[in-house]
Amino acid sequence: MKKTVLLFVAVVMMLGSRADEGMWIPMLIGKNYDEMQRLGLRLSEEDLYNINHSSLKDAILQFGGGCTAEMISDNGLLLTNHHCGYDAIANLSTVERNLLDNGFWAHNLKEELPAQGVTALFLVSMEDITKKVKEAVGNAKGEDFSKKLEAYAKGVEEAAAEKGKYVANVRSYFNGNQFFLIIYKRYTDVRLVGTPPKSLGKFGGDTDNWMWPRHTSDFSMFRVYADENNNPKPYSVSNVPYHPKKFLPVSIAGEKEGDFAMIFGYPGRTNRYETSYGVDLAVNVVNPSIVACRDLRLAIMRRHMDARKETYLQLTSSYSRIANYWKYYIGQTEQLKRLDVVNKKRKSEDAFSGWEREHNLDNGLLANFGKIYADYTPYAKHAIYYSEGFRASGIARMAVTLKPLYEAYERYATAKKAMSQDTLDKYINNAKMAYRANLKEFDPGTEKEMLAEMTELYYNNVPKDQLPDIYAKVILKNKKDIGKKTYADYAAFVFAHTFLADSNKFNAFCKAPSFAKLKADAGVGYGMSFATNYSKNYQPKIESFNVKKADLAREYLRQILEQKKGKLMSPDANSTMRISYGKVQSYDPQDGVHYKYFTTLDGLMAKYKPGSDEFDAPKELVDLYKAKDYGRYADADGTLHTCFITNNDITGGNSGSPVMNADGELTGAAFDGNWEAMSGDIAFDKKYKRTIVCDIRYILFLIDKMGHADNLIKEMDIRE
């Protein structure tokens, strides 16, 4: 009897340790409520999402368009990740006042710094409009479906926006089988309040990225400002801190194995209903191509960033973004292979086909998937090398901004007509805007090398019959020995014969533009050759594939929903607010290895390497560690926890998401996933999936003891 009881307990514990798959729509979270309660939640459904009264959803915002943040005071103070605020922090930094490397803390409102371009998007309401959308699009397919959906959505969004008072989006779920109208308020006056030094905010660098154990203090703090009526208003000295409908209290009680954990946020994209054909293409073509392009791009950037501090500050944000997903695609490919996802998908598809036949629905759906992928595969590599290789060059991107003007000149020349000044001004103004956007991260030394190396990489990897004509006509013309010098010489030639590399020359062209000047420019010629080749010969094939795939995916998922009717199913992430729930949970990554659910400052100091680019730490932290001066933020045994893990389901876009306990109190900020589960955007792994969280006690310790920002500590509702 005793053995039976022990076996039962072991089975329950094993089941309880598995991650719960699903990023759930807040409006519909009632369907999951019983399970959340079983796991330990002590809040009501209305506490989570309520359209008429304040609820947790009102404390969560989309930060900067690609991350999540949470309100942590009644005075507009928000918490997000360091890497989410990275671009704003870098833009506010100079060589003389390097906030990125040295950290920054505002000790009063006057010291807070405007973060230009950063937005805060708050959810107002969600409405299921599936029936209305389906009535509007009818039985349309392909481009007709897209056009009808776009036209309907545009009208609905314009009406719901109330002349700019709100931001309204019609969003698709389950590959076009469900639709919601989502309304937001957007605030644009957002100011930097605090950030730890980069050595802590990115502690571990690329080496530790996507890895556990982790010791990174990946957080930064901003404040949202509003007008006197709490409404959005562009930056003004007269603006006042925003007062949210809800903000999160902070718990410093600490986490224990098995504690309930809940995450709200804006997860970016998952593709878990992808077919075996799509996964196979990702593993064998798409992901390796992205990694190859980014590997080279990062190496070039790193050389120039290491050489000049100005270049480092100019490129560091871009470098960080590129590096993050460079490693992501390496890890995703490795785990998709390890989990044998292609074959598992095929078995699932065989079962689906059997269900289709049983219900007289078999219309060759999966066979059609196979056909469109077979037709697209010869061009898949070209598509990646165009976006990740050719467009890695600043000269290439700048040249492409002039393509509409170039083609307009061609049309008018063919028609033997003169372009009107108004039309010319329109093209020039658009080109100026695009050029300025690219100029921000344009370092001539880096870009000259980038142009040479990426041109060579493109030639060596894209099928020879798909290459643009500039290789045969210019770059390799009359060349017997083709090597790195060939491409370096060509890049030098382009830079010596283009107005794109010099803003003064570009502005001079814009003042007196002509078709002759465009045709004579080496940089424009380079970009036009690649871009025209792509747009005429390959973009139509790629767009045709995407349209056909969307139709098939919509029908495929419609049938899967029918097949699994009555079962709770979570839609793929699509950058809209979601809830996930689970537990604080350790795991065993491989035989004989156990990972605890938390890390400590002791572990950080064991990694500490003075002067290291990835594992350095400021003297202030080292001194606090030696003195064990942790204040009230230490655990019961006197250690200071730095990070912890849960088995929640998250993805990109959840960066900065609040991790909350059973009472809805903030316990940490989610910032990463673990290496063993990097297949998660395509194939969720219940055994290994973990969310890496910066412990709120470590965050508060750094604010209090290192930043001496008592004003911020006093502003929060901290509960012991």
pLDDT digits (tens, 9 = 90+) for 639-661: 999 999 999 999 999 999 999 99
C-alpha 20/C-alpha 152 separation (Å) is: 36
pLDDT-derived band at 19, boundaries 50, 70, 90: low
Q: Per-residue pLDDT tens for 145-196?
A: 999 999 999 999 999 999 999 999 999 999 999 999 999 999 999 999 999 9
The whole-number average pLDDT for the span 324-332 is: 97
What pLDDT is attached to residue 480? 84
| Residue 120 amino acid letter | A
**Helix, strand, coil share (%) of the chain residues, nearest 5:** 50, 15, 35
Q: Residue 572: how many CB atoms within 10 A of its CB?
A: 19
DSSP track, 208-238: HTT-SS------EEEEEEE-TTS----S-TT
* Residue 15 predicted with pLDDT over 70: no
What is the torsional sign of CA 111, 79, 64, 88?
Answer: positive
What is the residue-wise DSSP string for 63-130?
A: ETTTEEEEE-STTSEEEE-HHHHHHHHHHT--SSS-HHHH-EE-SSGGG-EE-TT--EEEEEEEEE-H
The angle at the Cα of 150, spanning 147 to 156, to the nearest 5 degrees, equals 145
Q: What is the DSSP letter of 249?
A: -
* Per-residue confidence band for 363, with pLDDT thresholds at 50, 70 and 90: confident
**Residue 123: half-sphere exposure toward Cβ, Cα within 13 Å:** 35
Buried-state track 369-389, b at ≥16 Cβ within 10 A, e below 16: beebbeebeebbbbbbbbebb
User: Would the pLDDT of 336 be above 60?
Assistant: yes
Q: What percent of the chain is predicted at pLDDT more than 90?
A: 95
Give the closest residue to 121 by CA, choosing from 186, 26, 191, 182: 186
- Alpha-carbon distance of 244 to 246, in angstroms, equals 5
The CA distance from 209 to 671, in Å, is 10
- Helices 341-358 and 539-563 cross at an angle (nearest 10°) of 60
Question: 181-205 as b/e, with b when 16 or more CB fall inside 10 Å?
Answer: bbbbbebbbbbbbbbbbbbbbbbbb
Instruction: Please list, in sequence order, all residues whose beta carbon lies within 8 angstroms of the beta carbon of residue 126, skipping any fewer than 6 positions away.
Output: 25, 26, 27, 180, 181, 182, 183
The pLDDT of residue 479: 86
Contact 55, 579 (CB under 8 A): no
Q: Which two tokens stand for residue 480?
A: 């017997």
Enumerate the active-site residues: 83, 218, 655
Q: What is the mean pLDDT of residues 407-431?
A: 95
Paired tokens of 565: 């009717």
pLDDT exceeds cutoff 70 at 7: no
Strand partners, 646: 584, 691
Neighbours of 151 (CB within 10 A): 12
Q: What per-residue string of b and e applies to 426-444 under the rule 16 or more CB within 10 Å gives b?
A: ebbeebeebbeebeebbbe
What does the pLDDT look like over 76-123, one tens digit per residue? 999 999 999 999 999 999 999 999 999 999 999 999 999 999 999 999
Contacts of 301 (CB under 8 A, 6+ apart): 315, 318, 319, 322, 446
Say whether pLDDT at 235 is over 80.
Answer: yes
* pLDDT, mean of residues 550-557: 97
pLDDT at position 18 is: 46
Q: pLDDT tens across 470-525, in order?
A: 999 999 998 888 999 999 999 999 999 999 999 999 999 999 999 999 999 999 99
Q: Can you give the three-state secondary structure of 354-383, one letter per residue?
A: HHHHHCCCCCCHHHHHHHHHHHHHHHHHHH
Map tokens 């796991």 to a residue. 39
Helix (H, G, I), strand (E, B), or coil: what is residue 265? strand
Could you tell me if 672 and 214 are in contact, meaning their C-beta atoms sit under 8 angstroms apart? yes
Residue 446 has pLDDT above 50, yes or no: yes
Distance CA 697, CA 707 (A): 14
Q: What pLDDT is attached to residue 11?
A: 31
Burial class (CB in 10 A: 0-12, 13-18, 19+), 563: middle
Q: Which amino acid is at 662?
A: A
pLDDT reported for residue 281: 98
Q: Which of 241, 223, 47, 245 is closest to 660 using CA atoms?
A: 47
Q: Supply the pLDDT for residue 10.
A: 33
- Reference 693, options 573, 598, 609, 566; nearest CA is 598
Question: How far is residue 300's CA from residue 285's CA, in Å, rounded to a whole number?
Answer: 23
- The candidate with the shortest Cα–Cα distance to 570, out of 270, 366, 134, is 270
Query: Under a CB-based contact definition with an 8 Å cutoff, are residues 176 and 554 in contact?
Result: yes
Other Cβ atoms within 10 Å of 596 Cβ, number:
14
The partner residues of 167 in beta bridges, in order of sequence, read: 184
Q: What is the mean pLDDT of the chain?
A: 95
The length of the chain in residues reads 720
Tokens standing for residue 568: 């709770």
Domain boundary assignment for the chain: 43-244, 276-380+539-571, 393-537
Give me the mean pLDDT over the 54-61 stretch: 98
Using the predicted structure, report yes or no on whether residue 13 has a pLDDT greater than 90.
no
| CA dist., res. 24 & res. 482, Å (int) | 55
Average pLDDT (270-284) is: 98
Q: 290 is written with which tokens?
A: 């992205």
- Compute the distance between CA of residue 195 and CA of residue 468 in angstroms, rounded to an integer: 46
Cα 525 to chain centroid, rounded: 33
H/E stretch holding 179:
strand 178-187
Residue 337, SS3 per DSSP: helix
- How, if at all, do strands 718-719 and 250-251 pair? parallel
